[in-house]
Structure 1
Amino acid sequence: MTIAHPNAPVDATWFTSSYSNGAGGECLACAITDSGVLIRDSKDAAGPVIAVSGRSWQSFANAQRRR
């Protein structure tokens, strides 16, 4: 995992969960890139971005599905 705010692609397509209600709660925005996934606070588009590998993201997503 790395903090990638200076390296985040300007043209990244960010999305939020379909479970996000837009009411300003705790929500993350994600963008899929060639090298993995970028994650940021959905309310702070100019804030820090965390970059994780595709494999790490898949492990995280699979763990959430089992909950």
Structure 2
Amino acid sequence: MTAMPRYVPSSTTLQGARWQRSSRSNGMNNCVETATLDSGALSGLLAVRDSKNTAGPALLFSPGPWETFVDSLR
């Protein structure tokens, strides 16, 4: 069994990802962006990247742990 990757070194390798920025972002590019991956081996995962470095790495989460993280911030 192969372990789920935890990140990709460049978010540009995530073909077809549609990145979304938080509606609370102030437009200064100091936010994170998320994309739900819906194709290939990473299908079903959520990618998170820094909006200041859109070609940089992206962290990968399965839905459950991401929802737990977001709920804990509320």
The answer, yes or no, to whether TM exceeds 0.5 is: yes
Give the corresponding residue for 1:36. 45
Percent sequence identity over aligned pairs: 31
Which structure carries more strand by proportion? 1
Gaps of 5+ in 1: none
Cα-to-partner distance string for 1:17-59 (whole Å, 9 max, x where unaligned): 111011233x111101232210000011110011011111110
1:45 and 1:4 map into 2 onto residues whose CA distance is: 12
Give the corresponding residue for 1:3. 7
Which structure carries more helix by proportion? 2
Task: Indicate how the Cα distance of structure 1 residues 19 and 6 shifts in structure 2: closer, same or farther if over 3 A, else same.
Answer: closer
Give the corresponding residue for 1:15. 20
Q: Give 3-state SS (helix, strand or coil) of 2:72's partner.
A: helix
1:2 and 1:29 map into 2 onto residues whose CA distance is: 16
Gaps of 5+ in 2: 38-42
